[in-house]
Structure 1
Amino acid sequence: MAVKELAFDTDARKALLAGVEKLAAAVKSTLGPRGRNAVLDKSWGGPTVTKDGVTVAEEIELRDKVENMGAQLVKEAASKTSDDAGDGTTTATVLAEAIFRAGLKHIAAGVDANALVRGIRKSVEGVVAHIESMATPVKDKVAAVATISANNDTAIGKIMAEAFDKVGKDGVITVEEGKGLETYVDVVEGMQFDRGYLSPNFVNDAEKMMVVLEKPLILVYEDKIDSVSKLVPLLEKVVETKKPLLVIAEDVTGEALSTLVINKLRGVLQVCAVKAPGYGDRRKAMLRDIAVLTGGEAIMKDVGIELDKVTLAQLGTAKKVEISGDNTVVIEGAGSTKSIQERIAQIRAEIDLTDSDYDREKLQERLAKLAGGVAQINVG
């Protein structure tokens, strides 16, 4: 069993404060537009240069165990701020140090710790309310804010502002290595997921090797489709409408896939089949997102509806769907605004409840696809 180091009363408080001050000293030097960069040593590769508070904080481990506990307390506050707001980690560190130091002075003077905590919480409520009343929307100053965050690099600030302007506050901004010398913003229009056509025989734009379906009907089906007998009744109904068909399912194989390909090649039906995105419970959620966006119904396994019983009313639709070998983009789904907003509210609630950074990231991606969009910054 590992030996535990014990510290009590004044000795413990002094050591904790020392840890808090050491971490804060490293982090607060990066604060504000005139903040200085920190250089972080890495166990692999070259050093990292940054003025992001939480990045600096995460690299700090102190030799003294009690001091390190103090540093970890402030590090946790900075990380929580980053998760909730996406910024403000350095300010959170400065405030945490100030509150901790002032609190220890009152405790040393004999103030009850529990009463002190209640007072701090009550004061925080008043301060937050006052700050919110002073808040000014920065809709027209996004470039300035982004420039400050980018170490006063105006070029990066303008690119970030362009991306934010295109996808809005609910959108997602990703950064990828570009193939050219210039840095530019590429916006994905509509809902995109990383699944392409199941057969190149579905392609109707040979030049781009893509499938483009105008105002298609969209089947959202959770299970695998391999039975021709169950697929044919639905195909007959769709053919009568003279509209294209997009099939999104766990998989389409064997005779079912062959039937779709033959109908396409013979000119009977413009059709394409793609695998459903995601896995497990996330797949179910994404299928429901697609159904809400397109105004259709997600035919799930637990509902008990057989494929041959699916009606045209249960199919969704969109202005256009573009499918490549790797991706599918649904543009201007026909779902009702009310249903989409309700789905968005549900996803936001899930984001607030989750403790997993990975789950939060995936939920935010789903939110962006429904509410805003995805802007990709290609760095040259």
Structure 2
Amino acid sequence: MAVDAPISDLKRRARMISTLEEITQVATFFANGEHEIGELIATAMERIGKEGIIIVSDESTLDNELEVVEGKRMKLGRGYMSPYFITNKKTQKCELQNPLILIYGKEISTFISIAYMFELVEKESREALVVAADVEGDALNLLFLSKNLGVSEQVIYKYPKRGNVNIEMFSTVKKLRTAMEKSDTMFERERAQERLSNLSDVALKVGGASKAEVGERKDMVEDALNATRAAVEEGIVPCGGVGLLYATKALENLQTQNDNQNQGIQNFQNAIKVLFLGIFFCQLIFRDLIAN
């Protein structure tokens, strides 16, 4: 209740952005004022659309650049993790029929991480595909043992470490797959399938004078990209932290059922004001730097 009110107020005040110029301005702001980075982010988003993948990667040069890979040429870059998981000895391929798919954003090393998947595999008598940054330790031994005992077929796909493509790409694919499953008409399913097959891949390559500089700039560009995408999706609120201050007023007229709820709302209201004050005092302290 206390969370929904200020969020609704911020959404009401938000202004949507869509033009290349607007996105460039927002991206430049999030990129600490670097107009070149802002332009690259905006151009990348324009080139690939909402379903495309933007990868932020290291570059061993001083320059920053974009590289576009069209959807039908986009490849994952790797196959199965180990030949041990081959299901078709003749073709040397891993072939699974209607498998359960586990997508994990980190390395898997413990049994606990995949325990629930094994429960579903046994319950539904299905095969399994594990997609992760890496699989090792007890988790890998368990998968090997399960396959050796003939419990079920499993395949591990270790995705390539290419910037932020990994989770973003699989998240996009999941959304499109879900859209296909929930579509009521053949036209909608075919449209989602077409978008899935035409996913584009844009590499935003970050350069610098040293490895340390490239690493810092890469982190900055990734943060700017994520913030810009959020701004395009949900809009921006002018005047910075002032929007937070206005949002606290949405809590003043909330009806509560007891004193504890009322105290909770007041605490939440004060917490939001602290965020505003933090931004305000930061601007006072660094006002000369900001002005320049």
Q: TM-score, normalised by structure 1?
A: 0.29
The structure where strand makes up a greater share of residues is 1
**Structure having the higher Rg:** 1
